[in-house]
Each structure stands twice: as C-alpha cells, then as structure tokens.
Amino acid sequence: MRPKNLEKEEAIRTIALQIIAEEGLENLTMQKLAKAANISPRTIYIKYKDKEDLLIKLFIEEVLGPYETAVLENFHASMDFATGVKKLWQNSFRYLTRNRTHFALLQNGKTSPLLNKAYQQANIEQGQYFKPIHQFFKQQVKQGVVRNFHQDIYRALLFAPLLELVNEYFDYTERPKQIITEKVILDCCEAVIKGMLK
C-alpha cells in the first residue's frame, strides 16, 4: 500500500473510532465517516465491504490485539493470585483510560453481535486471546485458591467491575473532581480479589 493510501486508511479507522466514542455505534454511517475523513465514500468501499466489515476489522485489528498486548504487559500465568489480578487491573485501567475510542468500541461490541461475528470471520476460537489469563485461572483452581468456574465467568467476575469503573472515570472527566484514581482502582481490586478467593 502506498504511503498516501496508508494515511487514508489510518484516518478512516481513527475517525470511525471517534464517531463511535462520541455518537455511538448506531450513528456511524459510511457517508458520515467519508465526510469527516474528507474522502469519497467510494474510497472506504475499496477497503471495506460495508459498515459491518469495517467494524469487524476495527474491532480485531485496532482494539482487540492492542488491548490484549496492553493487558498482558508484565503479567505471567505463574503469578500469585493477588499480584496477577492487580497487574491485570492496573494494565487494563491505564490502557482503557488512555484509549477512550477503543474502550467505546469494546463496550459497544459487548452489546451487539459484532464480537461474535468478528471472532467467526477471523476464525478466532474461544480462548485464543488472553491465553495467559486462562492459564492463570487454571493454575489458581489447581492450587485451590479460587473455585472452578468456566472462563467466561472468570472474565465477568474479573473485568465487569473494572469496566464499570472505567465508565465512571470517563463520566467524571466532565466534572470538577475525578474520583476514579489508580488508588481507588487498587482498593476496588482488593475487594474483587477477596470475593473470588475460595
């Protein structure tokens, strides 16, 4: 791809993520995206079949991969439970609060068929992403630290409270004082850790 085409591609993706974050997934149209990127709609259709194709590629290439890399930074499946969970929370919080547009697509992906379609289109099997976290929980179960649940339940127990706190963080960016700090995140993480212990 020529440099100019790469710039257009990057602009399309960046602006699409901004529209989703500011106006919601349902308000992203190819026409609106083309206008905001100052290009013709035909330019978008050269790369993407339709809006769904754009969203699926955005989700996999722009959000899921970078999010996984950030979450797993300095995390090891062999960590003790409290240290491992804290590391996952700290990494997630830092990444998501610095990437509001990615967070918006992650949140939208949960409530639409987008996530499942993205996985199917890319032939992504359940557990393919975040493998060290799955291994981490298997070891914790084996050691008798936590109860034996399906990996989707661990994901919900581990990340749902954090994602709600990130939502609150963004709500408070418009207010005089931010109440969701890293200290608050760690305090909440401690509560989640205690609740998950056997």
Half-sphere exposure of 136 (CA within 13 A, CB side): 21
**pLDDT per residue as tens digits for the range 65-80:** 899 999 999 999 999 9
Helix (H) or strand (E) holding 198: none
3 state DSSP class of 61 = helix
Backbone torsions φ then ψ of 197, nearest 5 degrees: -70, 145
Amino acid at 2: R
pLDDT value for 46: 87
pTM of the model: 0.85
**Tokens matching residue 51:** 């809006």
pLDDT value for 26: 83
190, 121 contact by CB (below 8 A) = no
**pLDDT per residue as tens digits for the range 31-75:** 999 999 888 888 898 888 888 888 888 888 888 889 999 999 999
57, 48 contact by CB (below 8 A) = yes
DSSP label at residue 108: H
Fold type of domain 1-47 = Arc Repressor Mutant, subunit A (1.10.10)
**Tokens matching residue 88:** 């996952």
Per the listing, tokens 């890319």 go with: 122
3 state DSSP class of 197 = strand
Q: How open is the CA angle 161-82-139, to the nearest 5 degrees? A: 100
- Distance separating alpha carbons of residues 86 and 193, to the nearest angstrom: 9
